[in-house]
């Protein structure tokens, strides 16, 4: 067992929450490292659709409360980072699209028009006329309404990789399976690798892994809820599946389907067109929980044919990903709309709830660190440069995970 490896702050969990926290805290001069059990973004972050929401989703569900209005600033905060002028540097990350579409059938057009004309939406939403329609909505048989929403969609792997590269000397692959509190520090253990690290403060950003970490610390609060999803995917040549980022709105306020698209480059040995993957979220993914893979694929085929009857999906290959969202527990089981940050002594536990809201989550973490610092010994909370050289040589760097569709072995 490696002993006396002491750091000020250990962040546990290398999804977007842990990585953004690492970047901000390093810039503020904290001595901090990040520990990831497996590969960076191997859970929710890598499985996300990469949409940087600005509150439209909550406006659609009538949940755009005063407090969740900070979400409206998220596209601008991310945009500044992508331009290299924000709170963290994402200038090497890629955007998949500057905007998303919202479409609906003709019979729902009146309801949508009224809603999108409302004050809260009009600045970000533009109604498109038919000559502006891009594929696949430019087909003669499409007779619905189409809006363009100015909220970007990001290539999440490039976001993660760009943060990893900037802080790679502080990011390690360790599966923390035991934590014990001693005097003024916490001992973190990876039993398999037989490594122990001592940290004065902990930030738990391990998504669903927070539950086991809190258990290990014998903390009963905060509690967590899991909301499972079964996300269908289909792939075909780019001429069959155009790259789109679009929400189909039905009679209820929740999108019936959210489609995001990714390129699967054709290997140099195979000539021809790149393939495109469509990844399907929204109602289809929520209702699909409990179905077998075959049943979910059939449901996805049927739903797409109903929502896009003018398209032909017969040449597509199919799969689906089962994944859980991890969030703070809501007393009524509902979906939280704001990031959640809790502090008990020197342990901060956080869930961003949405990838897009990570910057707000990290603001809250910094507030908690600074409020805990007031009235505490400067010896513990002094900000210092990293002096972890002996420890670093013993630890394995963490790599970025492949995206889910690149891991599918058998497309059906």
Ligand X SMILES: Cc1cc2nc3c(=O)[nH]c(=O)nc-3n(C[C@H](O)[C@H](O)[C@H](O)COP(=O)(O)OP(=O)(O)OC[C@H]3O[C@@H](n4cnc5c(N)ncnc54)[C@H](O)[C@@H]3O)c2cc1C
Q: Closest by alpha carbon to 16, among 367, 365, 364, 351?
A: 351
Least Å distance, CB 385 to ligand X, is 24
Instruction: Give the interface with ligand X as residue ranges (CB under 6 A).
Output: 12-18, 35-38, 41-45, 47-51, 53, 175-176, 205-207, 209, 213, 229, 231, 281, 323, 325, 351-356
Residue with Cβ nearer ligand X (81 or 240):
81
Least Å distance, CB 154 to ligand X, is 9
Least Å distance, CB 279 to ligand X, is 8
- DSSP line for 326-347: EEEPPTTSPPP-S-EEEEETTE
Residue with Cβ nearer ligand X (266 or 299):
299
Residue with Cβ nearer ligand X (266 or 408):
408
Residue with Cβ nearer ligand X (41 or 347):
41
Helices 16-27 and 156-166 cross at an angle (nearest 10°) of 40
Least Å distance, CB 31 to ligand X, is 19
Least Å distance, CB 190 to ligand X, is 8
Least Å distance, CB 341 to ligand X, is 11
Locus of tokens 């449901």: 299
Residue with Cβ nearer ligand X (49 or 225):
49
Least Å distance, CB 213 to ligand X, is 6
Could you count the other beta carbons within 10 Å of the beta carbon of residue 292? Answer: 11
For residue 238, CA distances in Å to 32, 128, 134 come to 43, 24, 14
101-110 burial, b at 16+ Cβ within 10 Å, e below that, comes to: bbbbbeeeee
For residue 363, CA distances in Å to 70, 102, 119, 313 come to 12, 31, 28, 44
Least Å distance, CB 138 to ligand X, is 25
Cα Rg, the chain, nearest whole Å: 22
Least Å distance, CB 118 to ligand X, is 23
Nearest 10 degrees: CA dihedral of 140, 143, 147, 153?
-60
Where does 275-346 show beta strands of DSSP type E? 275-281, 317-328, 340-344
Residue with Cβ nearer ligand X (156 or 240):
156
**Phi, psi (degrees; rounded to nearest 5) at 409:** -90, -35
Residue with Cβ nearer ligand X (136 or 404):
404
Query: How far from chain centre, in Å, is Cα 172?
Result: 20
Residue with Cβ nearer ligand X (158 or 175):
175
Residue with Cβ nearer ligand X (342 or 351):
351
For residue 54, CA distances in Å to 59, 261, 274, 354 come to 10, 20, 31, 11
Identify how many contiguous H helices and E strands the chain contains and give both numbers: 14, 18
Instruction: Give, rounded to a whole angstrom, the gap between the first and last alpha carbons of the chain.
Output: 47
């Amino acid at each position: 067992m490696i002993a006396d490896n002491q750091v000020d702050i250990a962040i546990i969990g290398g999804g977007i929450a842990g990585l953004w926290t690492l970047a901000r805290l390093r810039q503020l001069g904290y001595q901090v490292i990040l520990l990831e059990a497996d590969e960076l973004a191997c859970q929710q972050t890598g499985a996300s659709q990469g949409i940087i929401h600005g509150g439209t989703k909550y406006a659609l569900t009538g949940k755009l409360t005063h407090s969740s209005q900070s979400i409206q600033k998220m596209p601008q905060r991310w945009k500044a980072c992508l331009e290299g002028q924000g709170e963290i540097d994402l200038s090497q990350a890629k955007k998949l699209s500057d905007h998303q579409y919202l479409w609906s059938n003709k019979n729902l057009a009146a309801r949508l028009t009224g809603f999108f004309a409302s004050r809260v939406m009009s600045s970000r939403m533009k109604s498109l006329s038919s000559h502006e329609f891009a594929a696949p909505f430019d087909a003669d048989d499409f007779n619905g309404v189409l809006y363009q929403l100015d909220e970007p969609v990001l290539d999440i792997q490039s976001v993660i990789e760009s943060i990893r590269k900037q802080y790679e000397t502080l990011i390690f692959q360790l599966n923390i399976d035991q934590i014990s509190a001693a005097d003024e520090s916490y001992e973190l253990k990876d039993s398999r690798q037989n490594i122990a690290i001592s940290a004065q403060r902990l930030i738990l950003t391990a998504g669903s892994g927070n539950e086991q970490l809190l258990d290990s610390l014998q903390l009963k609060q905060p509690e967590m809820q899991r909301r499972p999803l079964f996300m269908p995917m289909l792939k075909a040549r780019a001429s069959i599946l155009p790259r789109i980022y679009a929400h189909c709105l039905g009679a209820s306020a929740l999108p019936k389907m959210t489609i995001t698209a990714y390129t699967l480059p054709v290997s140099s040995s195979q000539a021809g067109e790149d393939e495109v993957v469509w990844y399907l979220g929204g109602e289809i993914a929520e209702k699909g929980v409990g179905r077998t893979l075959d049943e979910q694929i059939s449901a996805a085929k049927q739903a797409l044919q109903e929502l896009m009857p003018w398209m032909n999906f017969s040449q597509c290959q199919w799969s689906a990903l089962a994944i859980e969202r991890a969030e703070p527990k809501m007393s009524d089981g509902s979906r939280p709309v704001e990031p959640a940050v809790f502090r008990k002594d020197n342990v901060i536990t956080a869930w961003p709830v949405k990838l897009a809201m990570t910057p707000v989550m990290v603001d809250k973490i910094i507030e908690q660190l600074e409020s805990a610092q007031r009235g505490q010994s400067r010896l513990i909370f002094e900000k210092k440069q990293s002096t972890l050289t002996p420890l670093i040589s013993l630890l394995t760097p963490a790599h970025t995970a492949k995206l889910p569709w690149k891991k599918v072995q058998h497309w059906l």
